[in-house]
Amino acid sequence: DTEVTQTPKHLVMGMTNKKSLKCEQHMGHRAMYWYKQKAKKPPELMFVYSYEKLSINESVPSRFSPECPNSSLLNLHLHALQPEDSALYLCASSQLLATNEKLFFGSGTQLSVL
């Protein structure tokens, strides 16, 4: 199983809503990542977890709150988002956090903020 599963595939939320994105992998990977991708742009790194601990936060606004409750699961909690936060949110995992590791990506959650 070399799959990273993201749910939901699509999400529409208002600016006052609270929602969560979920990412799951069963490859035994110990590094997990959140990327954000705006239309026609490359993915941008948001957060990296290694062994369930937050290793990298790319100065992401606090309305995005990541959580890694166990080695297989990664969540992204959303609160008070802005319309400009509408984007494709991609999750990825790798065996370890290292420079020669390959990342496995999910298909993403397409988020629309109204």
Partner 1 sequence: DAKTTQPNSMESNEEEPVHLPCNHSTISGTDYIHWYRQLPSQGPEYVIHGLTSNVNNRMASLAIAEDRKSSTLILHRATLRDAAVYYCIPSSRDYKLSFGAGTTVTVRA
What is the spatial distance between Cα 26 and Cα 16, in angstroms, rounded to a whole number? Answer: 33
CB of 25 to partner 1, least distance (A): 12
CA angle 16–84–112, rounded 5-degree value: 65
Which CB atom, from 94 or from 113, has the smaller least distance to partner 1? 94
Q: In whole angstroms, how large is the CA radius of gyration of the chain?
A: 13
Nearest distance, CB of residue 88 and partner 1, angstroms? 8
Site string for partner 1, 21-60 (x = CB under 8 A): ------------x--------xxxx--x------xx-x--
Of 13, 60, 67, 104, the residue at the interface with partner 1 (CB under 8 A) is 104
Helix, coil or strand: residue 83: helix
Residue 10 is a binding residue for partner 1 (CB under 8 A): no
CA–CA distance, 33 with 94 (Å, rounded to integer): 9
Q: Which is nearer to partner 1, 92 or 113 (CB)?
A: 92
Q: Which is nearer to partner 1, 64 or 93 (CB)?
A: 93
* Count of residues engaged in binding partner 1, rule: CB under 8 A: 23
* Residues 60 to 99 in contact with partner 1, rule: CB under 8 A: 90, 92, 97-99
Rounded to the nearest 5 percent, the helix, strand and coil shares of the chain are 5, 55, 40
